Amino acid sequence: MSDKTVKVRLIKGLRGVQKKHRLSVKALGLRKINDVRELKDSPQVRGLINRVNYLIRIEQ
């Protein structure tokens, strides 16, 4: 097992966004604009990222 991580930042607000997408952002641990989380890189996390890719930015 490798301990790769991915850093995500919330870049847009959640007003007017589908409920599923709001819940996905919450599952990623993001609350406010410019909030950053470093998460374990797994297929589940990648799926959440792909669902809300227009709201977040992946940072290296």
Q: Which amino acid is at 30?
A: L
**Domain containing residue 12: CATH number:** 3.30.1390.20
User: What does the mean pLDDT of the chain come to?
Assistant: 94
Domain range enclosing 12: 5-59
Mean pLDDT of 35-41: 96
Q: Decide which of 15 and 1 is more confident.
A: 15
Place 2 in a pLDDT band, splitting at 50, 70 and 90. low
pTM: 0.89
**In angstroms, rounded to a whole number, what is the distance separating the alpha carbons of residues 4 and 18?**
30
Per-residue confidence (pLDDT) for residue 1, from 0 to 100:
45
For the chain, what is the domain count? 1
Mean pLDDT of 2-13: 91
